[in-house]
Amino acid sequence: MRIVVAPDKFKGCLPADAVARHIAAGLRRRHPAAELDLCPLADGGEGFVDAMLAATGGTRRVSRVVGPLGEEKIDAVWGMLTGGTAVVEMSGASGFALVPESLRNPMNTTTFGTGQLLLAAVQAGATRILLGIGGSATVDAGLGCCQAAGHTVLRLDGEPVTPGEPLLGRDLAEIHSIKRGRGSPLDRIPITVACDVDNPLSGERGAAVVFGPQKGATPEQVAWFDAQHRALAGRCLKLDEAATPGAGAAGGLGWALLSFFTAELVPGIDLVISATHLRERLRGADLCVTGEGAFDGQSAGGKTASGVARLCRELGVPCALLAGHISANTAATFAHAVEVSPRNMPLPEAFSRAGELLEKAAESLPGQRA
């Protein structure tokens, strides 16, 4: 029997490689003779750089950049692959996990550090960039990223903004337009954007409405951001880009990348599946086990578990899901689905016992479709 273990991280709890190891430990107790192939994955959020470096053997780099709150400096990790391709993870510079809970307010966050990471990659010799944009703390429509990248950002009075003072979410109302900086080192550098959602920039499925509350936005702020996104896209004559699936990713950074960079948006999980050769590794397998912290209504929009299940269906390999919490229907997608955490267990306890709970859940899996 051969089992492929291909999970994402359990957000805020365990990285993908640790999740894979715990699942493997449980499977070995149930199926001691099984051949296990561990293939930790990511969909463009936290763990994207690690997954790509593990798959390709690239080198790890560190750059000092502005953090999501616009004042502090942080060390952000990125990677360089062979052939001049850089791998950058937005969450390492502008990520939600970098903001203390008491300070989570997208009015006060910026994508400026992500723009700095893109520049650092080009200055290190990158001729192509793979950028993961999941896990952001921002709803600034990529304003800070454009500013850091050297694009011309004009205020309502027609004056350009000060280049070194990071623009925050609250500054959206003061901006008239963004113009692509033809002299920027990033001009014409192809950027493949690993995107884990398909939302447009604004509207009922837009960046502010869907993702703003989880980043700390109040209902009033959600409405304000949505109106500002729509207005800025209109002033920039980039309404078509605003309607493109994925434009609302990372608080609207997807829109900015489509509008002012040489960028294309692709499903992050598909990019990582290709890099890890998961398709080839799944051929002839008896079972694939995937997982993520929560499987809910957003999971089908480009998240890891759904992407793995889709590939398994194509190849005829049964796929099992392990998730901390399951709130979406899994019957048509997975051969087996197991909630790792008991419903009555407090979240802090579930986090502290995550490894043990994962192993127990994995041990419950049969080796073939039920």
> Does residue 359 form part of some domain?
yes
What tokens were used for 338? 């197991």
Q: Do residue 264 and residue 127 come from a single domain?
A: yes
Instruction: Look at residue 370 and tell me whether its pLDDT is greater than 50.
Output: no
Q: Do residue 309 and residue 264 come from a single domain?
A: no
Instruction: Look at residue 301 and tell me whether its pLDDT is greater than 60.
Output: no
For the whole model, what pTM was predicted?
Answer: 0.88
Q: 85-120 pLDDT, tens per residue?
A: 999 999 999 999 999 999 999 999 999 999 999 999
> Does residue 279 form part of some domain?
no
CATH classification at residue 63: 3.90.1510.10
Average pLDDT of the chain to the nearest whole number: 93
288: pLDDT confidence band, cut at 50, 70 and 90?
very high
Domain range enclosing 304? 2-34+286-363
Q: Do residue 305 and residue 175 come from a single domain?
A: no
What tokens were used for 369? 């479709």
Q: 315-351 pLDDT, tens per residue?
A: 999 999 999 999 888 888 899 999 999 989 999 999 9
Buried-state track 287-319, b at ≥16 Cβ within 10 A, e below 16: bbbbbbbbbeebbbbbbbbbbbbbbbeeeebbb
Q: Do residue 124 and residue 222 come from a single domain?
A: yes
Q: 218-263 pLDDT, tens per residue?
A: 999 999 999 999 999 999 999 999 999 999 999 999 999 999 999 9
Q: How many domains in the chain?
A: 2
- 235, 269, 303 - which closes a domain: 269
- 243, 269, 295 - which closes a domain: 269
> Does residue 79 form part of some domain?
yes
Q: 28-45 pLDDT, tens per residue?
A: 999 999 999 999 998 888
Asked whether the beta carbons of 334 and 292 are under 8 A apart, the reply is: no
Q: Do residue 164 and residue 311 come from a single domain?
A: no
Q: Do residue 147 and residue 295 come from a single domain?
A: no
Asked whether the beta carbons of 26 and 359 are under 8 A apart, the reply is: yes
- 269, 302, 330 - which closes a domain: 269
CA distance 197 to 148: 24
pLDDT at residue 303, as a whole number? 80
Q: Do residue 56 and residue 131 come from a single domain?
A: yes
Q: Do residue 54 and residue 169 come from a single domain?
A: yes
